[in-house]
Structure 1
């Protein structure tokens, strides 16, 4: 199966275009911005750290985010293989455990998260999926 293949069918054109832009243009720049929130997962096949700029909000010892493409997202696939993650929030790394919440209402969740990122997720995304990260330390 190709890297971008989806078990349920081929990836749609919008997702391919958005993902290519994010992977090759936006993410390499945003990962280097000191106060950009970043999710670090462990690559499910490589075992290497994989860093993805994300939007979301910390509430106490919990970090909430909504994935644009749900289980099609590589970082979601990595979480399914190993839920131990790190989240860089305001320049500081926090270890945590990620939980995929398919029964949560991602549209309602987006209304509680930062507006700019939430708007982009609503406009660009499909198959939205809520993720909760329980932070340690």
Structure 2
């Protein structure tokens, strides 16, 4: 986990918090995935209560990943505190999963795939880096965007 001097977080605006996230979460809860959307449920690190947030589930080279385009979000902190234990919700379907944080040096192909899929939605959070950026540019922003590999279901 990065120390406070390295922590990066881009807080969502009012529209995102109160309209867009609620809209995507509503569709996802109804069983309609929008480009791989799921509702992530993880135990709150302080309250212990389940916390839910819409996320983009990335499938890449036979694995599934969660990427935090906004950086050190509440869901990232909660997931770390919950030792990677989470549920992904789509309609009435609940998948119990375990996540492991990906090392910064291994993030480049995952971030490229994420940007290729959702650049229109999240590109602004990557400081001008795109799926076609140089390896050096992707490596520069990698520490600012937590990535979690999800273990396959048993």
Whether TM-score is above 0.5 comes out as yes
Q: 5+ unaligned residues in a row in structure 2: which ranges?
A: 127-140
Q: Distance in 1 between matches of 2:110 and 2:6?
A: 27
Q: Distance in 2 between matches of 1:80 and 1:69?
A: 16
Larger of the two Rg values belongs to structure: 2
Please tell me whether residue 29 in structure 1 is matched to residue 46 in structure 2: no
Q: Name 1:100's counterpart in structure 2.
A: 101
Q: Name 1:42's counterpart in structure 2.
A: 43
- Where has structure 1 moved over 6 Å in runs of 4 or more? 9-12
Q: Distance in 1 between matches of 2:85 and 2:51?
A: 12
Please tell me whether residue 109 in structure 1 is matched to residue 119 in structure 2: no
RMSD: 3.2
Q: Closer, same or farther in 2 for the Cα pair 1:107/1:131, shift >3 Å?
A: same
SS of residue paired to 2:26? coil
123-132 or 107-116, larger mean C-alpha shift: 107-116
The one-character-per-residue Cα deviations of 1:39-78 (angstroms, maximum 9, x if unpaired) are: 11111111111111111224698421211133x2100100
Q: Closer, same or farther in 2 for the Cα pair 1:133/1:24, shift >3 Å?
A: same
Write 1 or 2 for the structure with the bigger share of helix. 2
Q: Closer, same or farther in 2 for the Cα pair 1:122/1:94, shift >3 Å?
A: same
Q: Name 1:3's counterpart in structure 2.
A: none
Q: 5+ unaligned residues in a row in structure 1: which ranges?
A: 1-5
Please tell me whether residue 133 in structure 1 is matched to residue 134 in structure 2: no
State the Cα distance separating 1:133 from its structure 2 match.
1.4
